[in-house]
Structures are given as structure tokens and as C-alpha cells.
Amino acid sequence: MKSSSNEAIERFRLGAIASLLDGAHAPQRAALVLALIAGFQMMRQMIGLSPPAGVGRQMRIDTLAPLFERLLS
């Protein structure tokens, strides 16, 4: 069960991103953007996994950028 403060934070963040998006399904697309960011951060910070071996910064950018572009446009 979510606390009311978690729900408020979620609504604020989702609302902030969704308000910037045009087109259909803006709230759902905003939620997917936050899920990508949170998942990546969780893997890096909480679980302590480094990027996969041989995957440099530019490769991560080249791989993730189209995902974000698709969700945000």
C-alpha cells in the first residue's frame, strides 16, 4: 500500500512530465519514462551493478536515446 506522500510525489512527477507531452497517452508515456529512469538508477545505485562490460557511455546514450525520444514525442 502506498503512503499518501508517495502518491503525492508520484502525481507531481508524473504530472510534471505529462504536462510537457503532446499527443495521446501522455500520463502513461510519462510513467514509462520515470520507470526507465528509476530502473536504471536502482540497478546502478541500490543493487550496485555497473554498466555491462564493454558498454561505454556513448553506447548507452545511443541505445537509450531512441527509447526516450519515442516516449517523449
Q: What pTM value is reported for the model? A: 0.71
CA distance 69 to 63: 11
CA distance 60 to 66: 11
Sequence-ordered alpha helix ranges (H) in the chain:
4-18, 26-41, 57-72
More confident residue, 72 or 3: 72
With a pLDDT cut of 90, the percent of the chain lying above it is 34
Number of compact structural domains in the chain: 1
Query: Is residue 2 classed as helix, strand or coil in its secondary structure?
Result: coil
pLDDT in tens, 4-25: 777 776 778 888 989 999 999 9
Average pLDDT on 41-47 reads 80
Domain that holds residue 55: 4-72
pLDDT for the residue 5: 72
